[in-house]
């Protein structure tokens, strides 16, 4: 049970670390860089502690149901990636409705400017695509196998 708790803490720390990386890349603020460093150091020490703990108490690791854990994690990652993609789509849609980002052509059709889409959003969209597809496929296959 202790190993599972520390694995969950380590995974949450990874998620926070990835958030600080993305936030620092987009905002370039010092607080994001400090958060990136702190979570990076915390990940290293948590990983080392977890490794030593498993070496000292290997029976703790044998108690874990890794198949179920991977199933839950893949589903969680899939949902988070879908949330990121939906959030980006909503931001782009809202910008396309802003008159600053479009004009009407001679024929009365709305022409959307390229400024409606930020390059960081396109980068994040395509960067998360393989993870979304892989985790989503794994999660859905496991889910449908469990339901049969």
Per-residue pLDDT tens over the stretch 101-147? 878 888 888 888 888 888 888 888 898 899 999 999 999 999 999 88
Claim to verify: residue 20 and residue 58 sit in the same structural domain: yes
Same domain, 45 and 92: no
Asked whether 132 and 78 are in contact (CB, 8 A), the reply is yes
Question: Which pLDDT score, from 0 to 100, does residue 80 have?
Answer: 87
pLDDT at 148 over 90: no
Determine contact, residues 78/41, Cβ cutoff 8 Å: no
Single out the residue in 36, 64, 92 at which a domain terminates.
Answer: 64
Q: Is the separation of the CB atoms in 131 and 81 below 8 Å?
A: yes
- Residues 133, 71 share a domain: yes
User: Could you tell me if 69 and 135 lie in one domain?
Assistant: yes
Q: Does the pLDDT at position 1 exceed 80?
A: no
The residue among 64, 99, 115 that closes a domain is 64
Alpha helix ranges (H) inside the chain: 2-27, 30-56, 58-62, 66-97, 119-147
Q: What is the mean pLDDT of residues 33-45?
A: 93
pLDDT, tens digit, 9 for 90 and up, residues 20-30? 888 888 888 89
* Predicted local confidence at residue 140, as pLDDT: 93
Domains of the chain: total? 2
The pLDDT tens digits of the residues spanning 46-59 come to 999 999 998 998 88
* pLDDT of the residue at 41: 95
Q: Domain range spanning residue 142?
A: 65-148
Q: pLDDT, tens digit, for every residue of 73-98?
A: 888 889 989 998 999 999 888 888 88
């Amino acid at each position: 049970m202790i190993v599972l708790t520390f694995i969950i803490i380590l995974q949450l720390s990874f998620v926070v670390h990835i958030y600080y990386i993305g936030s620092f890349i987009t905002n370039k603020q010092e607080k994001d860089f400090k958060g990136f460093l702190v979570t990076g150091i915390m990940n290293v020490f948590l990983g080392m502690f977890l490794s030593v703990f498993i070496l000292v108490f290997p029976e703790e690791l044998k108690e874990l149901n890794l198949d179920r854990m991977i199933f839950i994690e893949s589903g969680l990652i899939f949902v988070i990636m879908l949330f990121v993609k939906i959030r980006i789509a909503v931001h782009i849609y809202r910008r396309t409705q802003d008159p600053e980002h479009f004009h009407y052509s001679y024929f009365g059709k709305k022409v959307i400017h390229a400024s409606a889409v930020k390059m960081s959003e396109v980068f994040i969209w395509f960067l998360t695509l393989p993870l979304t597809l892989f985790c989503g496929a794994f999660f859905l296959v496991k889910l449908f196998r469990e339901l049969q």
